[in-house]
């Protein structure tokens, strides 16, 4: 039984040593592929960043359109004579302006959030890009060393490769993480719950005319009623 255990240990040692020989012999090729994989991940993160920038621009266009709509509605009311400013018309205009102002506020909130995420992502990608470039330089040095001394590689050659691979894989781990995936998931869940269940406090305030929408509507209506008559 003891002999079988020793033979089994010897067999496993042989497999391990064979794997180490193959790994050591192809260390630079492995390192080169790891760099290529990291660059591919970086490209995907750049694409994600470009998508966020496009979203920011869309939000800016929507916000500009909302501001223009508010100005246009207020301009329509301002041009009317006091006799033409019926309560029904003022109510309709106030409702439309209040809804547009609520949309504008939400657009501004989302714009601020996406702008912060873009700034954070830009800093992260610049740092990771610098790390990958450093790995590229190290790879060229190791390839030169190998080509100049194939018969007698440096004693610490394998350790050098292992160290570079360890740091490179940390870089890849950062790259492969989705952009703010956790934050997006939590925000989406919170929004979904609010859409389904609603906010009981908001429902009670709305019933009494003291919710945000009602107060905004009242403020806009007071603003429209206070507009001076056209000259």
DSSP labels for 8-71? Answer: HHHHHHHHHHHHHHHHHHTHHHHHHHHHHHHHHHHHHHHHHHHHHHHHHHHHHHHHHHHHHHHH
Supply 50's token pair: 């470009």
| pLDDT reported for residue 50 | 93
Domain assignment of residue 231, yes or no:
no
- Our count of domains for the chain comes to 1
When comparing pLDDT for 19 and 160, which is higher? 160
Domain extent at residue 120: 2-225
Domain assignment of residue 13, yes or no:
yes
Domain assignment of residue 211, yes or no:
yes
**Cβ(184)–Cβ(52) below 8 Å:** no
Domain assignment of residue 73, yes or no:
yes
For 189-207, the pLDDT digits (tens) are 455 545 554 555 555 555 5
Quick one: average pLDDT of 39-50?
A: 89
The yes-or-no verdict on residue 69 having pLDDT over 90 is yes
| pLDDT reported for residue 108 | 95
Q: What angle do CA 124, 29, 168 make, to 5 degrees?
A: 20
Distances (CA, A) of 159 to 20, 28, 109, 155: 12, 12, 50, 8
Quick one: average pLDDT of 60-88?
A: 91
When comparing pLDDT for 161 and 110, which is higher? 110
Domain assignment of residue 68, yes or no:
yes
For 95-150, the pLDDT digits (tens) are 999 999 999 999 999 999 999 999 999 998 898 888 888 888 888 887 787 777 55
- pTM for the full predicted model: 0.64
Q: How many whole angstroms separate alpha carbon 184 and alpha carbon 13?
A: 48
- Name the least confident of 61-70, 139-148, 208-217: 208-217
| pLDDT reported for residue 158 | 47
Domain assignment of residue 41, yes or no:
yes
Domain assignment of residue 230, yes or no:
no
Domain assignment of residue 182, yes or no:
yes
Coil, strand, or helix at residue 81?
Answer: coil
Quick one: average pLDDT of 14-27?
A: 48
DSSP per residue, 158-169: HHHHHHHHHHHH
When comparing pLDDT for 16 and 191, which is higher? 191
The number of C-alpha atoms within 13 Å of 28 and in the hemisphere containing its C-beta is 16
| pLDDT reported for residue 105 | 92
């Amino acid at each position: 039984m003891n002999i079988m255990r020793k033979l089994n240990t010897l067999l496993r040692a042989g497999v391990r040593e064979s794997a180490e020989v193959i790994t050591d012999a192809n260390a630079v090729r492995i390192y080169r592929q790891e760099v290529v994989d990291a660059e591919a991940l970086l490209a995907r993160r750049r694409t994600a960043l470009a998508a966020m920038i496009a979203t920011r621009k869309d939000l800016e266009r929507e916000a500009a359109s909302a501001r223009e709509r508010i100005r246009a509605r207020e301009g329509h009311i301002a041009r009317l004579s006091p006799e033409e400013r019926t309560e029904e018309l003022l109510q309709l205009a106030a409702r439309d302006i209040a809804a547009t102002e609520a949309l504008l506020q939400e657009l501004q909130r989302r714009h601020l959030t996406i702008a912060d995420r873009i700034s954070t992502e830009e800093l992260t990608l610049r740092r990771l890009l610098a790390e990958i470039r450093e790995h590229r330089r190290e790879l060229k040095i190791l390839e030169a060393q190998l080509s100049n001394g194939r018969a007698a590689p440096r004693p610490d050659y394998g350790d050098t490769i292992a160290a570079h691979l360890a740091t490179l894989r940390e870089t890849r781990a950062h790259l492969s993480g989705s952009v703010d995936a956790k934050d997006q998931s939590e925000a989406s869940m919170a929004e979904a719950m609010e859409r389904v269940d609603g906010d009981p406090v908001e429902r009670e305030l709305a019933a009494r005319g003291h919710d945000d929408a009602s107060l905004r509507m009242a403020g806009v209506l007071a603003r429209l009623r206070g507009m001076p008559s056209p000259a």
